[in-house]
Structure 1
Amino acid sequence: MGSVPLGFLITTSVIFIIVAAILVAAESSLSRLSKAAVEDLIEEGQKRAKRLDTLLDQRRSTALSVRAGRIALQTAAAVAITIAFTHGGWPWWVILLLSIGVNWLVAYFVISVIPQQIAWRNPEKVALHTTPLLEFMLKAGRLGSPIVELFRKVLPASPQTDAEARAEMTEEMREVVDQVGETEGFEFEDREMLRAVFELGHTYIREVMVPRTDMVTIQADVPVSKAIALFVRSGYSRIPVIGENVDDVVGIMYFKDVVSLLHRRPEDSKKLVRDICRAPHFVPEMTLADDELRRMQNARVHMVLVVDEYGGIAGLLTIEDLIEEIVGEVNDEHDRNVVEPEELSAGVWRVPARFPIDELGELLGMEIEDEDVDSVGGLLQKAMGRVPLPGARAIALGVDMTAEEAVGRRRQVGTIVATRAIIDPQEEGE
């Protein structure tokens, strides 16, 4: 066993793993594509689009060939990895445990999860880039078709999994929407809305949630009377209540509960927030959006906390976030369109929160650089150490920034007034 060079084993296993991962990405992207999407690529003049259309007509045969190739490569890589461990001179049981552990990690993360996530986010791009490989696998599969047919006759067909059934049904419905969309009298917006409904079945809630860094929270030991000010400044009607840190969410405070309490019993204004907040609901970040939408509707829950694989808070999700995935962004009647930079007075500028800090530096006649953030809003948030609310002020990198009004349903600061800070360098960022 030790006669096989270690370098050769490592090199071949890495090559096998990479090719297997590419095959998984190629198959996943092919399963996500609809006929209409490929036809759009053809109209755009994308190279390989016509070849991809041919593969789409033979989707099942291509998928079987790709899976067979992936299994062969994955098996070869596992054997190479196991043999490589024999060079360490360890007892057989150590080699067995190491090979099982490493091969499982490689099979699950490197060959399965990561390539699928990449393909699901950019199915058209991945499919176009892997078209030659898919064509090769299809031709190779035809050479081995007699063997495949033999096994298909001898072995019983495997039952279709829920995921496969869901994917197949979603693809069929996409095709129906695309075909109906080509008829007259079917508006483009209606077609896009229907497609968005079906896309929810492949969208994880972590893709649409409010990330942890953008969450507005309130401490559990704050008096109810002071909570009103946070509601007014933030514009939210529900705010998570935390204990020691963001990962310690003890409840959800509702604006209507606070107003009702203060109206009925003004003497309870000194009560703590933790005493009137409602129980929080938690959901894993890998939950599918359509499943969570139905669950929230049935449970009459408007806000849930999204937890990551380690049990920490990854963000929060509202039922409005899910609805926006279908109908598009919902704006408040007081929201304004994105503004252009405006000079209010000499050296004082109003800029959008997403305005690049280097361009702000050009307006102020100074150089602004930061390795962690790119926007003015990000710089303000970094300087404050929390999500800025209207009226918040901070100084960083020689810039004096004041947050203005919040915009959008998520009530994020839309514009910031910035000017050169007149302070000593030692005071910067305080």
Structure 2
Amino acid sequence: MTEPPLSALFFSLLLLLVLSAFFSGSETALMTINRYRLRHLADHGHRGARLAQALLERPDRLIGLVLLGNNFVNILASSLATIIALRIGGDNAIAIAAGLLTMVILIFAEVTPKTLAALDPERIAYPAAYVYTPLIKVFSPLVWSVSIIANNLLRTLGVEPAGPPNQTLSREELRTVVSEAGAMIPERSRDMLLAILDLEGATVEDIMIPRHEVEGIDLQDSDEDIIRTIRNAGYSRLPLFDGGVDNVVGLLHLRHVLSLMREREDFSKEHLREVCYPPYFVPEGTRLYQQLINFQREKQRVALVVDEYGDFLGLITLTDLLEEIVGEFTTDPADRIPEIVHQADGSVLIDCGIAVRDLNRVLRWKLPTQGPKTLNGLILEYLETIPETGTSLKLNGHVLEIIQTGDNAVKTVRHISKITPRKPKNQVS
């Protein structure tokens, strides 16, 4: 029998190496492709994506086909390399051929195609899907036999191979996906998406206006004081009290109050009961995402927050919730929030009544939000005492100096970006 020429053997060996590279690269591409983008393209009619998605629905069969082809071409390549070595250098060349073939397969048929597929899986996965779809039908009996044996082995190890892997993402995993989206999602949109995810981790107590800061109308005040409060009000809706904040009568829309004042010359504070509507109460532990849904369902814009005993704690508005998603409704939050004042020397004066969440959002800090809700509460919890004026402390890496205290609370602190040589009265680290 006439032996094939060396040129034909070398060409066949080269073809087998190309096939080996194809099987190796396509396997990595199909296994690492973004399943969510794949599903999106498949839903929009991308044929390659549809074929790839169908293949990945039974990964055991796909892997069986890939490994079957890859092992077949690698073994055949090894046999051809042995024949070529015998033809060129005899028995002594077999070891050299085996070493050379190992290096060639490792570099050109394994590492390089797999690295390329990992970097850009879509470029390889979709064309490969056109090849594997008919192959998996042609070799289905053999692939089915291999899959049965492999699946039974997996079941003995306690692994159920049937069905696709679970692709459900937790909230924290979804945060990571959004955070690392890079240029695919504009920074502003990315911040809003992250803020929406954060609504599940915060409650109305975290963003409410505390009771001592709630602006309202007390029926026990004089008519002149009530009219003055209405004219100077900074909000369109105010709670109506009768003898203090612990006795809420209802909520007032100032547009209705002003209309009533124009229509009735004998207007008095007793007429306020006529135009107020029942207060809407929510428990302090309500999640912000749920409260957003509650506002929509109840057709409300203002809610009064109460604790487990029914005591009034504060007030939350729909605007407060929306600001948690889109940010402050100002052009420059750091300059417009009255609790934060930037100084010429680079330091920042901070009103300690500010909510920790607002402080984190405006100054890009990462103070803990699970405990106290205000900066004053956070400082008192950290020091476990009411500090004197001039005391300085380092809170989560931020150097703060106590500027003003009063009424058993810290009123104002200065954030020092750079520690100056001047030593305060007390030093806490």
TM-score, normalised by the number of residues in structure 2: 0.40
TM-score, normalised by the number of residues in structure 1: 0.39
